[in-house]
Structure 1
């Protein structure tokens, strides 16, 4: 039996990453699937914070609760190099080249205990020229942390803000 050794080149590493990526996308809950006719344009890891504010619940007058006030994260590629930012409101994904997109949430799916949910967003047309031009969908997957604080939210701390750390994969799709 012949022993074959492969040298890990950038091309081979990319091919393996893309192959594993396809398998990972197949395991995404059905509600988070991007419609046929789209391909992955960019895969990033968002590392940052989500701010919550103690305020009146919009659907329950007179009740207070921790409400999402906005994200602030760095988007890194697979090598750890910063390729963009995620911030808001409104939720905005911006590439280092200055192009950016906002979007409309289509679906969410549980991300596991202690993690913000997975999310599927339909992108609005990009602003500027660059990497975000043509992005049609954004998936937030593999979330870690980011849930609202467990501490009480009441009249005594109404208006208080709390920052929570989180991480998630953001997958950007374009029409194929």
Structure 2
């Protein structure tokens, strides 16, 4: 049996072209049991939800959150991305509460795309860093633990298409 752990992840959805009522979306998300999510509605046509949820397997936990969110969104909404997957050094630095420059001075995995790194590849490099970087890694463990599942789900979205709200 896999031990329970907390996973930190974000879900990003594209909303249908016909404008959605933000208040209705927030109410529907609350009723769907997503009252633990931080919801972002800042970008037109998009909604982001940030979760910290426990479970034995990141992919199962993330997909359970997707399944809870989808019925609360307007018909035609599409899951666009699960984070963390591709991250900047600034994203990692913010999670570790260090400066981006502190990470630039360290040995890191090679970037994957346009200066972005795979979050799933970062922990082994960070574990071998001295001082504050290594010490801060434990506090960000749930975020890094969600990264391999986010990467797999994003690959499926790219290859098979994203789940949509019916």
| Greater Rg over alpha carbons, structure | 1
RCO (CA 8 Å, sep 6+): is it higher in 1 or 2? 2
More helix by share: 2
Q: Same fold (TM over 0.5)?
A: no
More strand by share: 1
Which TM-score tier does this pair reach, normalised by the shorter chain?
under 0.3
TM-score by length of 1: 0.22
